[in-house]
Homo-oligomer: A and B are copies of this chain.
Amino acid sequence: MVEGATIIGPLVIVGGHEDKFGHPEILERIATLAHQQHPDLPLAVVTTASHQGSLSFATYHNAFRQFGLEVFPLRIDSRQEAQLLYTSQMLTQASGIFFTGGDQLRITSVLGGTSFHHALMEAWSRGLVVAGTSAGASMMSGTMIVAGDAEQTPARNAVNMARGMGLWEDAVIDQHFSQRGRIGRLLAAVAQNPQTLGVGIDENTAAIVELNNHRLTVWGEGTVLVVDGQKTTMNNASEAQPGEPLTLTHIVVHVLSRGYGLDLDQREPIRVFS
């Protein structure tokens, strides 16, 4: 890392159920990005979302070891811990930060606005990779999806939103996307504010977002479905009654598989690698 550079780090946003062994392409990519930043430092694994933090940590400990990457746990389970100077200082000794799955509301309610949150943003702005899977993916949004029925007509109130951790302000991220039939709730979220880019990530699939390069790249087995509502003309999100089906026109959708991506400035698909 060049001294004094303030290049924001990449976000590795994983749709859950990534391969840990066998063909762990996504975790290997995270390890590579962490290694590029600081070859000698370990990766911090934040298990706040999980109710079985130790188990979750052990799994990632073994998985990242395959690539020679050491990890250490950040088991922050209360706002008191998240305010400790010691906890924040741990991030200065990390090559990157990985958030496990669980409940995204645990992450935001425990960490939101704490010293740790500030230290996280600071470490990220120094170039550290911030990765997260499932709940650890959702929480990266500016406004995040908390809950919402799957397999449902896009309707007003089909989705519950809350303030996320704000790593990617202009996006709303959903995970386990194709596997849990979540297009309806993502469309409902985009209808509320079409400025927001809807990003639905399949299992064992990652969107790697470089905000400084304005670029999203897809890795892994499935697809990332991007919902761009900026050109919508008819949108009854404000007039519809709670539970009433939505009308939402001229939504542009891109289905992107491995090697494809999106120019985030133009919101145009690109071929990144083959």
Residues of A within 8 A of B (CB): 150-154, 178-181, 183-184, 187, 202, 205, 221-223, 225, 227, 233-234, 236, 240, 244-258, 260, 269, 271
Instruction: Report A221 CB to chain B, min CB distance, Å.
Output: 7
- Taking CB atoms, residues of chain B closer than 8 Å to A179 are 151-153
**A183–B184 CA distance with the chains assembled, in angstroms:** 9
Q: Is the CB of A223 within 8 A of B255?
A: no
Whole-angstrom CA separation of A247 from B226 in the bound complex: 11
Q: Are A151 and B181 in contact (CB under 8 A)?
A: yes
Chain B residues with CB under 8 A of A181: 150-151, 180-181, 183
Residue in B closest to A246 when the chains form the complex, CB atoms: B255
Query: What residues of chain B lie closer than 8 Å to A255, measured between beta carbons?
Result: 154, 187, 245-249, 251
Closest 9 CB pairs of A and B: A181-B181, A249-B269, A245-B257, A153-B222, A251-B253, A248-B255, A153-B178, A249-B254, A223-B245
* Chain B residues whose C-beta falls within 8 Å of the C-beta of A153 in the assembled complex: 178-179, 202, 205, 221-223
User: Could you list 28 examples of A-B contacts with CB < 8 Å?
Assistant: A151-B179, A151-B181, A152-B178, A153-B202, A153-B205, A154-B178, A154-B223, A154-B225, A154-B255, A181-B183, A187-B253, A202-B245, A223-B246, A233-B269, A234-B260, A234-B271, A244-B257, A246-B255, A246-B257, A247-B255, A247-B260, A248-B255, A249-B254, A249-B256, A249-B269, A250-B252, A252-B253, A253-B253
Residue of B nearest to A260 (CB): B247
How far apart sit A260 and B240, CA to CA, in the bound complex (Å)?
Answer: 13
Determine the distance from Cα of A253 to Cα of B180 in the docked complex, in whole angstroms. 20
What's the nearest-Cβ distance from chain B to residue A217, in Å? Answer: 12
Select which of B154, B252, B256 is within 8 A of A252 by beta carbon. Answer: B252
A251 near B254 (CB under 8 angstroms)?
Answer: yes
Question: Given that A187-B255, A252-B250, A257-B236 are contacting pairs, would A180 and B202 also be in contact in the complex, using a CB cutoff of 8 Å?
Answer: no
Instruction: Give complex CA distance A197, B134 in Å.
Output: 33
- In the complex where A151-B180, A178-B151, A181-B150 touch, is A250 in contact with B269 (Cβ < 8 A)? yes
Which chain B residue has the least Cβ–Cβ distance from A184? Answer: B178
Q: Which B residues are CB-close (under 8 A) to A154? A: 178, 223, 225, 255
Closest to A233 in B: B269
